[in-house]
Amino acid sequence: MNVTMQRLAAWCGPVAMIGFLIGWGALCGFIPMPSSSESALEVQRMYLDRQTLIQVGLVVTMLASALIAPLIAGVFVHLRRIEGQNAVLAYTQLGLGMLLPILFIIPCFLLQVAAFRPERDADLVQAFNDAGMLPFVGGFYATLLQVIVVGIAILRDREQQIFPRWVGWFNLWVALAMMPDVLIFFFKTGPFSWRGIAPFYIIVVAFCAWFFIMGWAVHRAATRQAEEAARAVAPDREHQPEPEPVLA
């Protein structure tokens, strides 16, 4: 049991979200999101005016995306403790969770293509922009099932209570908050477009909260596991016979 590595994995979640806010928000300028109703020339102008900042911001976003993986692995470790040997939910969470960095990194590459030569045909720049923005905001399907699985696993744990039960209910709430995201494929303006309050801002709040709360929960579970192991070892040491003195 490597508690230090588990704690580092737990911290990767909040650090990843801070990286997202810096890269995607502060550098790229994508918070608030550019409107999906903008013309091809307006999209091209955005990339021409902020080319270097967008490129650097996307690199930071991709690096932050990679930090998601350790937290997912940390959640898996403790879900497997809940389920035991036949840990179907834990492995499902691990598989779906490891898709999440890819669901962010690949759209960032497509946006990098738009930023790489923004002077090319405006329609082409807009096409790459759409190809990156839509999956970045709307690629929630694997994550939806992942958080449902985490919630179910935690709520099924009535004996060990490795994670607090409210964390299980929180995961199910995050899944519910993700539902309106599917509407971004049908609306270019209004509250259900990719910059709307339902598909983007509610999900940003829920998503950031998930990484902070699950990071805290993994850190807490690792600390408690270490304390329990220490208490189990202490009585054994107390009952060990004292070594006999060596006669000169």
Angle formed at CA 210 by CA 81 and CA 33, multiple of 5 degrees: 150
pTM above 0.95, yes or no: no
Q: What is the pLDDT of residues 44-54, one digit of tens each?
A: 999 999 999 99
**For residue 156, is it within any domain?**
yes
| Residue among 160, 147, 63, 48 at smallest CA distance from 97 | 147
| pLDDT, position 248 | 47
State the DSSP string of 1-67: --HHHHHHHHHHHHHHHHHHIIIIIIIT--SSPPPTT--HHHHHHHHHHTHHHHHHHHHHHHHHHHT
| pLDDT, position 196 | 84
Q: What is the pLDDT of residues 187-244, one digit of tens each?
A: 988 888 888 887 788 888 998 999 999 999 999 999 998 888 888 776 655 556 666 6
Domain span at residue 157 reads: 3-228
**For residue 137, is it within any domain?**
yes
**For residue 121, is it within any domain?**
yes
**For residue 179, is it within any domain?**
yes
| pLDDT, position 88 | 95
Total domains in the chain come to 1
**For residue 246, is it within any domain?**
no
| Residue among 234, 218, 213, 227 at smallest CA distance from 82 | 218
Cβ partners under 8 Å of residue 194, min gap 6: 33, 36, 133, 134, 137, 138, 184, 200
